[in-house]
Amino acid sequence: MIFADSPIGVGRRVARDFTFPRNPFGFYQGNAMSKKQVVCYARFSPRPKENGGESLECDSNEKQFERLRDLCRALDYEVVAEYQDEYLSGGSTVGRDGLEEAIQHAMRIRGVLACYDVSRLSRDVSDGHLIVRRLRKRGVELLILAERIDTTTPAGRLMFTFMLGMAQYYREENAARTSRAMKKHLANGRRMCRRDRLPFGWKATDNPSVIVKDENEQRVIERIVELSKDHSARAICRILDREGTTRRGGKWHGAHALVAKIIARASHAAR
């Protein structure tokens, strides 16, 4: 709210409200156009190489911030804050404090939320659309450098959806490939988990990287597979308890999820 001289009388002052709609290049404060205020966000999650467990070099958060700063300078935007998440997956927004703080800051100043590419923001279609809806509801624009996406237009939102879908696909494909590799290593006797959380049917050895089959538990697995032909997982647990079969020192009561996993694993191995 500012004051201006009224054309009706000299010295008389009236209130004039300069709350105009935002245009594509800036927003009004009083009667002058000011720079857009930008909140930058970066996320870093290194991926393992396919040939060996080493970390694959990704764009660090600092590299992402440098590119976003260069873009903002070129567009004459003002960077007011930078937030980041390190070593966190983009498959969910849960636990990503940096992202939530960046969104809250951008909504508070009604500015622009900028990130390097779509996958840094989210690798899940539903989460990505939820973020965009939150931003649009508060008049916040989303700036994505790599894909040059403008979510204020129908075409931009279509491209955003497509890129989100591709990011989710790559995340799920990486997870499936990693799972297949871990199962292959496990079948070859390589330990892929903590020593106190070995899969049922396996036991640790003196070599911390090697596991071997536990003959007693393997016989229990054979019994479970046999019973699965006519019984449910819960029924199998009751039968094993009646037969006096123990589960690493405990009873099978309540372990129907484990039984279901054992049956699924055996079915997959038989294919």
- 115: which strand partners? 41, 144
What is the Cα–Cα distance from 43 to 128, expressed in whole angstroms? Answer: 14
pLDDT at site 113: 95
148 CB-side CA count, 13 A: 1
Token pair of 125, please? 């279609």
* pLDDT score recorded for residue 271: 63
The pLDDT, as a whole number, for residue 28 is 37
246 to each of 217, 237, 242, 251, 252, how far by Cα in Å?
A: 9, 10, 10, 5, 7
Q: Which fold has domain 35-176?
A: Rossmann fold (3.40.50)
Burial class of residue 133, CB neighbours in 10 A (0-12, 13-18, 19+): exposed
Regions of the chain with pLDDT less than 70: 1-33, 46-58, 152, 186-187, 189-193, 195-196, 270-271
What does the domain layout of the chain look like in residue ranges? 35-176, 189-269
Q: Are 83 and 41 in contact (CB under 8 A)?
A: yes
pLDDT at 211: 79
pLDDT at 124: 85
Q: Is the pTM of this model over 0.85?
A: no
Q: Which long-range contacts (CB under 8 A, 24 or more apart) does 219-224 make?
A: 220/245, 220/247, 221/262, 221/266, 224/259, 224/262, 224/263, 224/266
